């Protein structure tokens, strides 16, 4: 019996983009997005699993502080994402996504750039 399930790494934006016929990028602005639709990263897909926990298992004080702040209801800056289809890939804000997932948040404010396909 396995005590630990294997953690899956994030999807890579660069690996997924060629599968779409992207024709343009359009800045959307700041909008609330569903945390469950954040599926990958532009450049840190090898650092985090699908719940945005460190794959290396190293302690992360920054994530703990963000979780505490979000639990207190403090406003955190919006993350930055690419939207492709109905999924999001993080440019900036991996720690905030991890904290939101751990706390069970449904939405997170994001600065969105849409990949037009």
pLDDT, mean over the chain: 88
Q: What is the mean pLDDT of residues 90-110?
A: 95
Q: In this structure, how many other beta carbons lie within 10 angstroms of the beta carbon of residue 19?
A: 10
110 within 8 A of 34, measured Cβ to Cβ = no
Please tell me the chain's helix, strand, coil percentages from 3-state DSSP, rounded to the nearest 5.
25, 35, 35
Q: Is the pLDDT of residue 78 over 90?
A: yes
Residue 112 pairs in a beta bridge with: 29, 81
d(CA 106, CA 97): 11
Q: Where are the alpha helices (DSSP H) in 1-117?
A: 13-16, 61-71, 94-103
Give me the pLDDT at residue 22, please.
63
Give residue 16's pLDDT band: very low, low, confident or very high (50, 70, 90): confident
Give residue 20's pLDDT band: very low, low, confident or very high (50, 70, 90): confident
Give me the pLDDT at residue 3, please.
47
pLDDT digits (tens, 9 = 90+) for 27-66: 999 999 999 999 999 999 888 899 998 887 766 788 888 9
d(CA 96, CA 73): 13
Whole-structure pTM value: 0.85
């Amino acid at each position: 019996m396995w005590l630990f399930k294997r953690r899956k790494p994030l999807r890579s934006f660069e690996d997924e983009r060629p599968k779409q016929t992207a024709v343009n990028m359009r800045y959307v602005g700041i909008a609330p997005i569903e945390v469950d639709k954040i599926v990958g990263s532009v450049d840190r897909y090898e650092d985090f699993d699908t719940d945005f926990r460190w794959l290396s298992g190293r302690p992360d004080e920054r994530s703990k502080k963000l979780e505490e702040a979000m639990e207190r209801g403090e406003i955190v800056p919006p993350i930055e994402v690419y939207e492709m289809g109905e999924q999001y890939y993080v440019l900036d804000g991996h720690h905030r996504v991890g904290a939101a997932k751990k706390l069970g948040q449904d939405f997170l404010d994001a600065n969105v750039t849409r990949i037009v396909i």
